Chains A and B, each alone.
Chain A
């Protein structure tokens, strides 16, 4: 078989896939529009824009009960309300009435400045602030308490303007280094990975399974086109879709939410396509096992859940232990996600991520190799 024929076959398969895709309006809308748009916009909805500072507690209705009624307790209120973290502090409640409202959704926490607050501070003792919080709302109580603690960390009862660090004579300061990233920027790496893996797996594994169920796959295999050309043709087709998807996610992130990746566009695209190739290899492998469309969908769902739990999507891999850590270690997508983070957030050059790149390339090669062997076997069965 000449190289020209092989190349022509690849292009023919790619063209056929693109033609089929173009005829399926629903697939175009879901794959290229709904997925990138919905995922990126839900990230923006959750974390706010990349360039702006976002405080999760800023708009949460919180009652402020001042039982001390002194200048100092008034300064606590001023410190909280002017911090930008508590823009919805409600005054005028009695302590018991405010606490009774917790759990109803009208207010979510009650900050109580106890009687004797000023006296404690002026006599050099630790003064107490009680925070009653609706812990039925996930993460809300811990977020409010830690934000109150952070705001009052350097509280000085003698001044009106707070947040001036008090340099004690023998204090130890922690000088922190390392860039700080917005929630949206961190989320962008997750969303990009998620959109690519989610769509790519279904397009390859689901596509082949559907063709198998329709009966067109067997016909394709017995046509005078080699298996290698079919696999590469489908890969090329899906790479085209992934270029469009990556562009779309980046365009929404940059132009709508103000994201500023710390690396160049080429690096993001190369990494995205490497993750896509890895997922395609896995997709080919699953379809080579003869899975039906329904099975593919179920596998897809669990693949994404697995990635959520073990690849660093939500939980940093450093927090995993035991069997979870081992799973994370062998999960090739975890290295892709890490590479996305290190390039987009930290700006590390792609070629310095040798471990991650080697793992992705090796896994991709293994997936493609196994798929080829298994598909070849089913091809021979068909020929017999």
Chain B
């Protein structure tokens, strides 16, 4: 037993020494997650920005005092920018159809008169729904401008009107008590960086060793195969700890308050890394080229962003997707990271997730070791 532990530590040290000697790989281990997280922050910021400049056109066919108030409100909306005032509704609709703008707002003739005389009034809004988020924000800008117009008319003239206001107010109470932001995706991003990092550090290293022929020599040396894999796992855990620390620092610098126990974060990322390593070793026993393996890794990682609940809760997926998500142990890792980092829950809340990750690794790692040995 002491022999196995000693050999494992030797293999771990050898892996880390090799990484230190390879400046490109070392730089990638550090730079790769930083670049990756910066891109994720760009994405999260774009979705959570307080204002946008979504281009719209407006055709005021009414020209009344009421429509002018509405136009003023639209012009001061933080969501949209009126790029052009058009004379006809055809021109406005055409601008959207051409793809020049995302929305066209048409105020029909008689709009102001209808509002002032208490008759039903309407506005026409054409949106380019191929731009999913932008068109939704244009709708929100129009609704908000109608509400502001109604308020101004009431304040100035005591006239009451508005959109069809719901009699029921829905009040949201998030259990984290945090204000709405894109921060909820950050723990999932840490999970994805852990997956990619673990795969790249060791699995690719093993494949490159295979290509160079040094892996066979390592296996033929008087070191137990279990020590070889345990040693590689040790290196993964050390590198993963470095990466997790780096990520936590970036998260804190960008304003994310980590509520739970930091040690639990390290525990979960280590388990994700070990499971990824197990899967990677399994794959590497069948795919011998390191470049093919990396391409496969990247190809799989993009769908994994969705299927492991990194960007969006797995509960919001279609039934097939939900079932698939629940079969992937990484989903439980991302879930555990969110519970610890975002909600501040303790070990009890993530015990099931941790167990699933652990059991999955314990099942896959021996199979990977066996298949690897057969390929010698």
The interface of chain A, by Cβ under 8 A from chain B, is 26-27, 30, 34-35, 38-39, 42, 44-48, 54, 56-57, 59-60, 76, 99, 102-105, 108, 121, 126-143, 145, 148-149, 152-155, 157, 165-181, 186, 189, 194, 198, 202, 206, 210, 293-294, 297-298, 300-302, 304-306, 308-310, 312, 314-316, 318-321, 324, 338, 341-342, 345-346, 348, 352-353
Contact = CB atoms under 8 A, between A and B. Distances in A.
Contact of A140 (B170, B299, B316): B316
Contacts of A157: 167
B55 interface: yes
B43 A315 contact: yes
A362 to B, nearest CB: 19
Contact of B52 (A48, A319, A345): A319
Could you say which of B42, B52, B163 has the most chain A C-beta atoms within 10 Å of its C-beta? B42
A348 B121 contact: no
9 contacts: A39-B303, A103-B339, A135-B174, A135-B180, A140-B316, A293-B291, A297-B298, A300-B295, A305-B35
A38 B300 contact: yes
B118 A170 contact: yes
Contacts, number: 305
Contact of B175 (A126, A136, A309): A136
Given A59-B322, A171-B163, A172-B122, A346 B316 contact: no
B164 A168 contact: yes
Contacts of B24: 294
Given A140-B315, A141-B172, A206-B291, A318 B134 contact: yes
Contact of A143 (B49, B316, B321): B316
Contact of B125 (A54, A59, A127, A177): A177
A309 B125 contact: no
B52 A321 contact: yes
B191 to A, nearest CB: 12
A153 B309 contact: no
B102 interface: yes
Contacts of A134: 175, 343
Given A27-B292, A318-B52, A318-B134, A172 B121 contact: yes
Interface stretch (B139-147, B214-222, B265-273): B139-147
A60 B167 contact: no
Among B128, B133, B319: residue with most chain A CB under 10 A: B128
Nearest to B96: A178
A324 B53 CA distance: 13
A126 B123 contact: no
B139 A176 contact: yes
Contact of B173 (A131, A294, A321): A131
B291 A294 contact: yes
B122 A135 contact: no
A5 B39 CA distance: 48
B337 to A, nearest CB: 10
Interface of B: 24, 28, 32, 35-36, 39, 42-43, 46-47, 49, 52-55, 93, 96-99, 102, 114-115, 118-135, 137, 139, 142-143, 146, 150, 160-164, 166-176, 178, 180, 184-185, 188, 287, 289, 291-292, 294-296, 298-300, 302-303, 306-307, 309-313, 315-322, 324-325, 335, 338-339, 342-343, 345, 349
Contacts of A35: 299
Nearest to A293: B291
B146 to A, nearest CB: 5
A119 B36 CA distance: 53
A297 B128 CA distance: 36
A321 B53 contact: yes
A304 B302 contact: yes
B221 to A, nearest CB: 27
A305 B312 CA distance: 17
B125 A175 contact: yes
Contact of B99 (A44, A309, A315, A342): A342
Contact of B47 (A126, A148, A315): A315
